[in-house]
Amino acid sequence: MRRELPGPANLKLACASRVSASPGPLAGQPADFKKAMSTNREKIALKLRRVVRLLALPLFQGPEEFLVGGQAVIEGVMMRSPHSYAVAVRRPTGAIAVMQDYLDRPSEKHRWLKLPVLRGLGTLGQALVLGIRALRYSAEQALEDGSDAKAKSPRDEKKGKLSGWMLALNIAFSLGFFILFYKLAPLYLATLVKRHYAVGENLIVFNLLDGVIRLVLFLAFLIAIAQLGDMKRIFEYHGAEHKVVWAYEKFGRVDLEAARGSTRFHPRCGTSFLLVVMGIAMVAYLFLPFQAFLWKLLARVALLPVIAGVSYEFIRFAAKSKGWLWRWASQPGLWLQRVTTREPDESQLETAIQALAKAMEMEKARGGELVIA
């Protein structure tokens, strides 16, 4: 059951008390001058109240994480509901394999993960674990050749599985690639510009250049991998995931007809979150006092969890406000989805529908209610 947020009229803050004109220095001044000073103080107090309310509002919101989300995997889709998830994968034989299980939100396991910023780290950490689990399952199912299981040798069975060390190696490689490509490379290129052009000595200019280079590298990487055949399939499943979620949000049902008529662009996509992370990082790096290249790099890596948590709170607040802030925050992600999503075919839509239906089924079996955040 959703908790109503306190409205502006009910949000009482000690620092927002009305400022009244005080006697003393103004005692001998004309009445018009005193009135003008009092009016100016009231205007300043009103602006301060608005700023404080804006900053404090996320603290009064409930700690619930996003309740329905999805992710494209290899030849399939992972969907999650408040307390369950399901992965549906299209096998080479045409059959749909499904893995489903219950899950608890991080804030339900640990009370300290209900706190702002920390709750974002808990949610993102769980999403990472679920994503890895879903990718591993989808890869295993996509490697199935459709032959009779009884006819398979132990070597064939082993070939169809991804070992734990191989998965760990992939994660380590991905993390290393992220740090090198999105932290080290932009910082190094910005430092080269700083050595050749005096304008780079300005802290604002340097960090702006660092952020622009990071964004360009990110877009170039997405456009490059979008040309790969395997990634085109994943982007099609990404579009299928969006269309199915949209169908449920708009029509309250999950079927092929509703999904087919829905758009593949969704404002709550993870691409919006990544762009917000990059924007907030540009601001955060302005306050780093380091001049040495190594310390700048280490500080950027160390701040990554904090920036991710703050970005989560920003997206969460903007989504709940449903106003200009949400439109501003989600629009770049909607543009970027023209690269990261493609129109799916009916078989891909059916796979995404199966994933969401199974997640809903488990949620209802547990006594919960599926709610679109």
Question: Which residues of the chain, if any, have pLDDT below 70?
Answer: 1-38, 40, 43, 45-68, 144-168, 170-171, 319-322, 367-373
CA-atom Rg of the chain in angstroms: 25
pLDDT at res. 342:
92
Question: 0.75 cut: is pTM over it?
Answer: no
Q: How does pLDDT run across 222-280, given as a tens digit for each residue? A: 888 888 888 889 999 999 999 999 888 888 878 898 898 888 988 888 887 888 888 89
Q: How does pLDDT run across 196-221, given as a tens digit for each residue? A: 888 888 888 999 999 999 999 999 98
Which residue in the block uniquely carries the two structure tokens 């997640």? 359
Work out the angle between the directed axes of helices 293-302 and 185-196 (0-180°, nearest 10). 150
Residue 249 is encoded by which pair of tokens? 């949000």
pLDDT at res. 157:
42
What whole-number distance in Å separates Cα of residue 363 and Cα of residue 248? 15
Q: Which residues pair with 70 in a beta bridge?
A: 79
Can you give the residue ranges of every domain in the chain?
14-60, 69-365
pLDDT at res. 52:
41
Q: How does pLDDT run across 172-190, given as a tens digit for each residue? A: 777 788 889 889 999 999 9
Q: Are 259 and 244 in contact (CB under 8 A)?
A: yes
Sign, CA dihedral 46-49-313-369, equals negative
